[in-house]
């Protein structure tokens, strides 16, 4: 059985080396191709096998040898005047050596995943370069700010509760920031490549992913300048609102699975109702354009701090209200918070349900109440900023959703 395992490792190592070598040979890489990379990967496996008898230093010496070979090969090519000699192949060689060595004592599925990823990255050179070329300074800044928020700030925050009611945990609060900013950043990146020329449906989907409130404001202002696009504007606003309902459901599922189980039926009814209204509006707006307007960076540190503060305040308010004012006070908090940010009340309530501080039956009703408040708030923004015909359509659409939400709260236990 031990011999069979050795041959399995060598076989996988050979195939992974052939895969990467095939790609390098296809693009005529000067440092290595269809023969070099299998040799490098198998060499890594052999060194790891020998390390079991003679010590781990053999793997280190082998790695030094592969790195030295890659460097000398690159220097030789440059001396010959080859301007196409890059670092990619030189880096891929020791990496594939490491993959071959890992196979001996690691999980073969991990080695296969890494080897396949290396081959794909090498093959997608033009596509990846094209993506980077289309990203501006602001887009790179947005990505780096998300890295700051998620990989630098989050790990150093203390993971314990502070203050009254024992609910304010800095790391958990910031994790909610990472979740919301991450979803918004994903929508922003998609918009960057596709949204500038998106029609009604893609524009609404991207708008709901980034910010349904901002989308409503943007298209309300546009309707004043172009009254002929009112139907398209209402369709985009309705689609973005429905996507925001899906976003709420995702947040509930991620943070509070118990809350989501109770909320499956009411959220499904709300989302399906929104989809039906979207279809009605879309059929009426097919001849109009609904391209999504310019979007801003969703990862600004200031915005993240504001959301984190708002989430902490609402979390504290929900905990305090639950103790001192019971259910009535919770719905007041839900309506007030829903006027500004639906994400914060959704996450805070789901967190309370998950921690056992709030029943799931009450939790989903609080969230749906906040959704209703947010619909009314967006309708008011459209009334103030948009064309009166747009407000009339949005008032009817949102009014139907508010009625549906109210019925669900009154009827379901």
Taking the whole predicted model, whether its pTM rises above 0.85 is answered as: no
Backbone phi and psi for residue 299, each to the nearest 5 degrees, phi listed first = -110, 15
What pLDDT digit, counting tens, does each position of 105-117 carry? 888 889 999 999 9
CA 232 → CA 11, 280, 290, distances in Å? 58, 11, 5
pLDDT attached to residue 37: 92
Whole-number Å distance between alpha carbons of 37 and 344: 51
Q: Where along the chain do its domains lie? A: 2-130, 136-411
CB 233 within 8 A of CB 386: yes
Tell whether the torsion through CA atoms of 136, 181, 249 and 256 is positive or negative. positive
| Residue 54 host element (H or E) | helix 36-54
pLDDT-flagged residues of the chain (< 70): 1, 77-86, 165, 167, 183, 187, 190-203, 207, 256, 258-260, 285-299, 319, 322-328, 340
pLDDT attached to residue 326: 61
Alpha helices (H) in 285-387, listed in sequence order: 301-324, 326-338, 342-354, 360-385
What pLDDT digit, counting tens, does each position of 183-200 carry? 677 767 766 666 555 556
Q: Mean pLDDT in the chain?
A: 81
β strands within 212-340, DSSP E: none
* One-letter-per-residue 3-state SS of 102-154: HHHHCCHHHHHHHHHHHHHHHHCHHHHHHHHHHCCHHHHHHHHHHHHHHHHHH
pLDDT attached to residue 76: 73
Whole-number Å distance between alpha carbons of 374 and 396: 15
pLDDT attached to residue 236: 84
């Amino acid at each position: 059985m031990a011999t069979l395992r050795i041959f399995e490792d060598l076989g996988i190592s050979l195939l992974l080396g052939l895969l990467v070598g095939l790609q390098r040979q296809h693009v005529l890489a000067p440092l290595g191709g269809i023969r070099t990379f299998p040799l490098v990967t198998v060499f890594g496996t052999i060194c790891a096998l020998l390390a079991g008898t003679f010590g781990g230093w053999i793997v280190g010496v082998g790695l030094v040898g592969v790195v030295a070979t890659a460097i000398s090969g690159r220097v030789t090519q440059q001396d010959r005047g080859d301007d196409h000699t890059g670092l990619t192949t030189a880096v891929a060689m020791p990496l594939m050596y490491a993959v071959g060595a890992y196979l001996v004592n690691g999980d073969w599925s991990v080695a296969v995943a890494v080897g396949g990823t290396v081959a794909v990255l090498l093959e997608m050179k033009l596509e990846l370069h094209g993506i980077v070329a289309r990203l501006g300074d602001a887009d790179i800044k947005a990505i780096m700010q998300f890295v700051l928020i998620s990989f630098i700030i989050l790990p150093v925050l203390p993971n314990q509760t502070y203050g009254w009611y024992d609910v304010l945990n800095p790391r958990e609060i910031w994790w909610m920031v990472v979740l919301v900013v991450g979803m918004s950043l994903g929508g922003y990146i998609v918009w960057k490549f596709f949204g500038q020329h998106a029609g009604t449906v893609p524009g609404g989907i991207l708008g709901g992913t980034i910010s349904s409130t901002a989308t409503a404001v943007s298209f309300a202002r546009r309707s004043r300048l172009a009254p002929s696009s009112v139907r398209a504007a209402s369709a985009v606003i309705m689609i973005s609102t429905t996507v925001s309902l899906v976003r709420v459901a995702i947040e509930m599922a991620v943070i509070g699975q118990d809350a989501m189980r109770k909320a499956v039926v009411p959220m499904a009814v709300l989302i399906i109702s929104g989809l039906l209204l979207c279809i009605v509006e879309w059929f009426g707006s097919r001849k109009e354009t609904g391209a999504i307007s310019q979007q801003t960076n969703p990862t600004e540190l200031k915005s993240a701090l504001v959301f984190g503060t708002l989430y902490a305040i609402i979390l504290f308010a929900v905990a305090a209200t639950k103790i001192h004012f019971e259910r009535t006070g919770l719905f007041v908090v839900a309506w007030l918070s829903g006027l500004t940010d639906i994400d914060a009340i959704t996450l805070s309530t789901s967190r309370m349900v998950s921690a056992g501080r709030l029943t799931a039956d009450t939790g989903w009703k609080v969230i749906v109440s906040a959704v209703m408040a947010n619909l009314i708030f967006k309708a008011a923004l459209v009334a103030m900023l948009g064309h009166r015909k747009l407000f009339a359509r949005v008032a009817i659409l949102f009014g139907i959703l508010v009625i549906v939400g109210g019925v669900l709260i009154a009827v379901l236990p």
